[in-house]
Amino acid sequence: MQNKHIRQRITETLEKNYMPYAMSVIVSRAIPEIDGFKPSHRKILYTMYKMNLLKGKMTKSANVVGQTMKLNPHGDQAIYQTMVRLSRGHDALLHPYIESKGNFGKRTSKYMKYAASRYTEVKLAEISNEIFKDIDKNTVEFVDNYDSTMKEPTLLPTTFPNILVNNNMGIAVGMASNISSFNLKEVCETTIKYIDDREINLLDYLKAPDFSTGGEIIYDEVALNKIYNTGRGSITLRGRYRYVKEDNCIEIFEIPYTTTIEAIIDKIVILVKDNKIDDIKDIRDETDLGGLRVTIDLKRGKDPEILMGKLFNKTPLQDKFNCNFNMLINGAPMQLGVKKIIDEWLIFRKESIRNKLQFEIDMIEKKLHLLGGLEKVLLDLDKAIEIIRNTKNDKNVVPNIMENFQIDEIQAEFVVNIKLRNINKEYILNKVKEIKDLKKSVKKKNGILKSNKKINEVIKAELEGVSKKYGRERRSEIIFKKDIIDIKPIDTIKDYNVEIFLTNQNYFKKISLASLRSSGEHKLKDEDKIIQSFECSNKDEILLFSDKQKVYKRYLYEIDDHKTSKLGIYLPNILEMEKNETIIYMVPAKSYKGHMIFGFRNGKVQKLPLNAYETKTNRRYLRNAYSDKAEIVGISYLEEDKDLMMLRYSSPNYYRILVINSSLIPEKVTRRSSGVMVLRLKKDSEMLKMRLLEDVKIENVDKYYNTNIPRSGVKVDQIDLLKLLNDELME
């Protein structure tokens, strides 16, 4: 018999066969819904909830996998793999839903595999209380499972916008979803503010995404606004590291969420083999129970900052997280911005609360109905007992009670089923007393149910509770583009000796020593003068202190060389300083050794180690560089302890001098500390100036010298006063 070939249009085949498959993948498998879960997540967590693993002890993962198959008709490996990602041990989520015991692998490693389900144990994490809160009070809809043998929830009634708190990625047919995680405290605060004012600027409260692997997020307001408004865009992430000077090595201890340890090491090895990086002697993965650590041994004389600049540019140590906020809303896929997501979650949460309130009202009204019948019986309790005693047939007891007390069958059943020991007035009166309280409760719940404002207050109270109980500080630090130095390859940076100059009007010059030897006088603006100069290297970092308690940081190779015949660069233009802000002091910081000394008008002096301004990242400026409690009147850098001169002025025209060694001043650890009292002041007196003794002209130094602090100083000799007042340093 000859086979007959049936011809069919490809479009019809796609429509009949492929489209239902595609829709099934989108709607029932790969895209999360407003509660923050895909169906596979929801089935696992609900199974664990029904197994009493919210409060009970841990159980073997294999047990959970087996029970989940009643809801999820997939293989055990697929279920277990999903459960691993939801666990604390895997470190994929900011707030894991599952507590775990045993080896669950790590999000940061592609080779560190999780143990088999028979070896590991799990239970629901405490935060899952907020995921399942009131689920047994009709808050969400339940449907039949795949074989109609049990019910399962279509959504979980989360009390916070869980969809924004944990990462969620899925690839469907023709679309994908990649939702970044945000800090729980920030999400709750943002939602509360949004309830009160729909026009808020989200960036004021929701600073940026936050990831379980930590690292740094390079702040880009334009990109974040695009993500918040449209649900699409990218975020730049980078790892965190520290330089261990004693071992001349770099330790990477946090990496971007988007990559793995192995991917980073493999790329670095390729760069070394291709001779694109020659700074590295060895690289090792030293990750252990203490946490992630990749160690890079440097060759002698190599700059760690410049090497890290190369690694950020050429390896996954700096990477992008591409946001695509696709999710299902009422079964339809949508791409939503953050405000719209919060909007949809509020709609969902309000509906859950209304369902719960209606459930509770219905239960109370049922109880009130029963107690109403009991109240009528109370009017003649003896009669009720007599009716029950004298009724010959059991089936006639309820009808007789109904007829004599004018109550319905449900009420009569309740009355006749009361235990004999409870047929006393005290018991019945106590039951009847409940009626008043229950009616108040119904009235209150109806008031909430009918008031959108009151439901909003319930949601806000829940969010505040969640934030207080489960919120924690950000894991991913936010850094700004202007704080990051774009490090050039080391072979493009020439290292040579330079002299740098700072003028009173905030002009800065960097002149090579070779050029300086053959140059003439400095060109300066009218009434300007040079207040500081240093010899240093072109690769040194310079710290520029301003009168607004800031310190600006730049590498000298970032600044062009000058001639003495030029004015130099105007610092406010390149440092993006505040209006009326002035640079008052500069310090080369090649090794960050020594101390900074700050003198204040209130007589206090602050001594800080220079390494207080050393940062792990390439920061462009630091706030709170020194105390802001009083006006600064002197600032000096000391490689080692030296003598300081302090000039006190009292009205009218009365001067005192105190000379001490800086070793008397105790070192402070924090930059915001207010210092210690050194120059004792009286009413109408102040510290006028503080200078290094070597920079001023005083004849009778021994007269003013003291070895204890605080001191009031010694009255200034006329000859010393004239020298000080005429000295340019004391102007």
Which residues have a catalytic role annotated?
119
Nearest to 318 by CA among 268, 364, 359, 388: 268
Helix (H, G, I), strand (E, B) or coil at 170: strand
In angstroms, rounded to a whole number, what is the distance separating the alpha carbons of residues 250 and 609?
23
Identity of the residue numbered 104 = F
In degrees, to the nearest 5, what angle opens at C-alpha 87 toward C-alphas 175 and 23? 20
* Residue found under tokens 């100036």: 689
CB contact set of 48 (below 8 Å; sequence gap of 6+): 54, 64, 98, 122, 123, 124
In angstroms, rounded to a whole number, what is the distance separating the alpha carbons of residues 217 and 479?
6
Helix (H, G, I), strand (E, B) or coil at 644: strand
In angstroms, rounded to a whole number, what is the distance separating the alpha carbons of residues 130 and 116?
29
Backbone dihedral region for residue 102 (phi beyond 0: left; psi -120 to 50: alpha; all else: beta): left
Q: What is the DSSP letter of 662?
A: G
In degrees, to the nearest 5, what angle opens at C-alpha 202 toward C-alphas 198 and 205? 115
In angstroms, rounded to a whole number, what is the distance separating the alpha carbons of residues 53 and 265?
40
In angstroms, rounded to a whole number, what is the distance separating the alpha carbons of residues 476 and 258?
13
Nearest to 727 by CA among 645, 650, 654, 643: 645
- E strands, 126-248, are 142-144, 151-153, 168-171, 176-179, 216-219, 232-238, 240-244
Torsion angle of alpha carbons 359, 363, 366, 367, nearest 10°? -160
